[in-house]
Amino acid sequence: MASELSPIDRAKFLAAKQATEYVETGMKVGLGTGSTAAWLVQCLGEMVREEGLKIKGVPTSTRTAQLARKVGIEVITLDEAKWLDVTIDGTDEYDSDLTLIKGGGGAHLQEKVVATASDRMIVIADASKKVDTLGAFPLPVEVIPFGAKITKKLIEETLINMDVLGREVTQRMNGDVPFVSDEGNFIFDLHLKRIGNPQQLSLALNQIPGLVENGLFIDICDVVIVGHADGRVDVRDIDKDSDEVVRFDLRDDDNIFADLDD
């Protein structure tokens, strides 16, 4: 099974597998969106089916909700959960402060609401997501369709005074039509190249009335788990100020990858 996975998928899978260590029976768990989070949902589903793990999952997108149900995880809404023990999600970029850019999958609004309603947020990633300075990945912002052109103009004006290198704003498309989020909104991608002051930028963007939420996650993430194709997994816990290296023995493929249906 391991040999069938590309190096990048192996890295994502190992990060997800390590993240399951933070999940225990009885927990309410926020389930992220994206290819790395999908591995996590599959791993948790296997633990539910094979090991009797009992959890309630709050998905951050319709995609994740479908997958969670398919693999056997009980799905509830955030309002039913009221509060979550942990949220585990992927990221598009993270820096040394564990500030994130998320929303590459267009789900950062629900992802931020869910992560903020959790005791802990754990990010799972491959090594390509680590950056010295955020901004190479375009920053997604979610915008209501009403007056979207005006909102775009206000975003462009706001960026003039921000510490960024690029200022192009593009609307995310789905083929020939605008991409629409699960909340019925548009996504604009901000091609900033380098974000000098994420806090200032996040506050300024969220002042724009038609802009619902931006993809910067500041002081939300507690732990980053980075998988590597060679079986190494780095765990950085910002609350404990600790760095740990875990090693999976890939020769033991059959146990690590058993029964995963990707």
Can you give the binding site for ligand 5RP, defined by CB under 6 A? Answer: 32-37, 89-92, 102-108, 111
Among residues 46, 111, 142, 213, the one annotated as catalytic is 111
Length of the chain: 262
Q: Give the nearest distance from C-beta 200 to ligand 5RP in angstroms.
A: 22
User: What is the distance between the alpha carbons of residues 195 and 189, in angstroms, rounded to a whole number?
Assistant: 14
Judged on CB neighbours under 10 Å (0-12, 13-18, 19+), 232 is: middle
Angle at CA of residue 173, ends 205 and 100, nearest 5°: 40
Please identify, using beta-carbon distances, which residue of 17 and 108 lies nearer to ligand 5RP.
108
111 catalytic? Reply is: yes
Structure tokens at 98: 């564990």
Nearest distance in Å: CB 103, ligand 5RP: 5
Helix (H) or strand (E) segment spanning residue 159: helix 148-160
Write down the least CB distance from residue 52 to ligand 5RP, Å: 28
Closer to ligand 5RP by Cβ: residue 59 or 104:
104
Annotated binding site: 33-36, 89-92, 102-105, 129
- Measured in whole angstroms, the distance separating CA 247 from the mean position of its chain's CA atoms is 23
Cβ distance to ligand 5RP smaller for residue 70 or 240: 70
Which is closer to ligand 5RP, CB of 63 or CB of 152? 63
Rounded to a whole number of angstroms, the minimum distance from the CB of residue 21 to ligand 5RP is 19
DSSP at 238: T
- Integer Cα distance of 70 and 80 in angstroms: 20
- Nearer to ligand 5RP by Cβ, of 129 and 152: the residue is 129
> What one-letter code names the amino acid at 245?
V
CB of 126 to ligand 5RP, least distance (A): 8
Distance (Å) of CA 7 to CA 40, 81, 146, 236, 252:
17, 36, 43, 21, 16
CB atoms within 10 A of CB 175: 6
Q: Environment class of residue 251 by beta-carbon count within 10 Å: exposed (0-12), middle (13-18) or buried (19+)? A: exposed
Instruction: Report, as residue numbers or ranges, the catalytic residues.
Output: 111
